[in-house]
Amino acid sequence: MRVLIDPVWDERAAPTQWTGPKRFFPPTLALEDLPAIDAVLISHDHYDHLGEGTVRRLAAMESLRQARWIAPLGVGAILARMGVDAKRCTELNWMDNVTVGSLTVSALPARHFSGRSLLNRFETLWASFVLAGPRHRVYYGADSGEWHGFSEIGERFGPFDLTMLEIGASNPLWADIHMGPEGAVRSFRALGGAGLLMPIHWGLFDLALHHWTQPIESVFAEKDLKLWAPVPGV
């Protein structure tokens, strides 16, 4: 199964492409070179997770004609306005799931928020996801602050072969919505600490005040972690 998660090939994580946070490096693969995709997973509607230009191009591509789009409640309408066939889109509430081929995708709570402007916050849902196949399980934490539910997620849906947790675009003042590197390590262990930890959400856009590489340096300083951290841009 090929799953595309929170695709952003856009130049900037912003409402326009002439101003706003600009990506540090180009996409490592052209959209036109993507293989056939089975599912596109959208965690929430923020610009650094849902790129309008990207979605419009994906919706028109032959290699995604049969793809199932999966998103939290309310995000389906945004995708439809961007050209995604509503019949190919499944909206999930927390604790809902959908099966795509041999894969079961479950939407789970996260501690974050939504909105593509200052005037429409909390009008759509946000989520983390478990991707469970016949042999392996992946947890995609998307954007989230630390919260007590991670241990229950690990107990009910784990153990995970791969856990993807955000480490960047964080600040102590934003701890309720972005866990940061130290929080990611604690959350990984709360989820069971099994398998590989993939640090995400730190290397593409400058969305916080910390030094660009500080989050990944902090995680690599931790001991007894099995990390999978591809070099950005490679």
**Whether the Cβ atoms of residue 166 and residue 184 lie closer than 8 Å to each other:** yes
Query: Mean pLDDT of all residues in the chain?
Result: 94
- Phi (first) and psi of residue 167, to 5 degrees: -130, -15
Fold of 3-220: Metallo-beta-lactamase; Chain A (3.60.15)
Tell me whether residue 115 is exposed, middle or buried, using C-beta atoms within 10 angstroms of its C-beta: 0 to 12, 13 to 18, 19 or more: middle
- The band of 17, judged by pLDDT with boundaries at 50, 70 and 90, is confident
Q: How far is CA 28 from the centre of its chain?
A: 17
How would residue 145 be classed by pLDDT, with cut points 50, 70 and 90?
Answer: very high
Of 71-80, 180-189, 214-223, the poorest mean pLDDT is in 214-223
The whole-angstrom separation of Cα 175 and Cα 16 is 28
Q: What percent of the chain has pLDDT over 70?
A: 100
Per DSSP, the chain holds a count of helices (H) and strands (E) of 5, 10
Q: Examine the pLDDT at 34 and tell me if it is beyond 90.
A: yes
CB-based contacts of 59, cutoff 8 Å, min separation 6: 79, 82, 83, 84, 85
Tokens standing for residue 107 = 């939407």
The predicted model scores a pTM of 0.95
| Confidence tier at 74 by pLDDT (50, 70, 90) | very high
pLDDT digits (tens, 9 = 90+) for 79-101: 999 999 999 999 999 999 999 99
The CA distance from 83 to 79, in Å, is 7
Q: Could you report the per-residue pLDDT of 206-219, keeping only the tens digit for each?
A: 888 888 899 999 99
Q: What is the pLDDT of residue 15?
A: 81
Tell me if the bond preceding 134 is cis, omega within 30° of 0: no
